[in-house]
Amino acid sequence: IEAKLSDGPLKGKRILVTSGPTHEPIDPVRYIANRSSGAQGTAVARALAALGAHVVFVTGPADVPPPEGVEIIRVETAQQMQDAVGTALPVDAAIFAAAVADWRVSSASERKLKKTKDGLPVLEFAENPDILHGVSQMKTGRPALVVGFAAETNDVIENATAKRLRKGCDWIVANDVSPATGIMGGAENAVTVISEAGTEEWPRMSKDQVAQKLAARIADSITQ
C-alpha cells in the first residue's frame, strides 16, 4: 500500500486542508460553536492522501476522527487556525473546508461566569480573521490552487459566485446547508463547483464521493 500511495498523481505535492468547526470561548468552560461535523473536510484530506499528496490537515474540534496518513494540526479557535495555516505554508494547494466562526467573544472571561453574582451575561464580539481571504490575496508564495467552500441556506449559486470573487480564491465548492437538505451533519452532499470557467452542478452523492471527485480535479489542476 505504501508504494502505491507514494506513486499517486499527487506524489511530491504538499496540500493544506482546513476542516471542522472552530470553538470560540465565552469563559473557561463554555464556548460558541457551529454544526460542522468535519466530515467533508476529513473526506477531502483522505482522498488527497490516497492520491499520494502530503496533506497538512488543520482541524477544529470535529465529530469525526481525522484521516490516517496525514499531518494533523489540532486547533480550537479561528485565531489558532490562522496561525496553524501560516505554519503549514508554503503549499501547492490549499483547500478551506473548515466552518470558521465569523466572530469570537471579545469579552471572554478568564473565570467561569457565575449565575448568582453576575446576572445575565452580555457578550461582545470581534470579527475573526478571514483565513481563506488572506491566503487567496497573498502577493508572494500563494498556493497555485486555492479552494474555498461556501455553505449557504439560500440563493446558493448567487451567494457563492459573489463569495468567490470577494475572497479571490480559484474555486468555490458551494452547498445548500438549509436544515431540510440534511447535509450539515449528514453523510451526503450536493455541491456546485464554481470557477472562472463557470459553474458545474454535481449530483447528490456521498461526502466520500464528492471528496474523491474533487481530489481528482485538484490533481488535474496542479499537475498539468
Active site residues: 34
102 touches Ca ion by CB under 5 A:
yes
96 touches ligand CTP by CB under 6 A:
yes
Contact positions with ligand CTP (CB under 6 A) in 11-70: 18
78 touches ligand CTP by CB under 6 A:
yes
Contact partner, 70, from Ca ion, ligand CTP, none, Cβ < 5-8 Å per class: none
Q: What angle in degrees, to the nearest 10, is found between the helix axes of 39-50 and 207-223? A: 50
Least distance CB 13 / Ca ion (angstroms):
28
Cβ-based neighbour number of residue 122 at 10 Å? 7
Check residue 42 and give left, alpha or beta (phi > 0: left; psi -120 to 50: alpha).
alpha
Q: What is the C-alpha separation between 66 and 43, in angstroms, rounded?
A: 9
Which residue is listed with cell 477531502? 44
Contact positions with ligand CTP (CB under 6 A) in 106-135: 128-132
DSSP designation for 67:
P
Strand 198-201 to 125-127 pairing:
unpaired
Enclosing H/E stretch for 59: strand 54-59
Least distance CB 163 / ligand CTP (angstroms):
6
Q: What is the C-alpha separation between 151 and 207, in angstroms, rounded?
A: 14
214 touches ligand CTP by CB under 6 A:
no
171 touches ligand CTP by CB under 6 A:
no
Contact positions vs Ca ion (CB under 5 A): 102
The binding site for CTP comprises: 102, 112, 129-132, 149, 163, 167
Q: Residues in the site for ligand CTP, rule: CB under 6 A?
A: 18, 78, 96, 98, 100, 102, 128-132, 148-151, 163
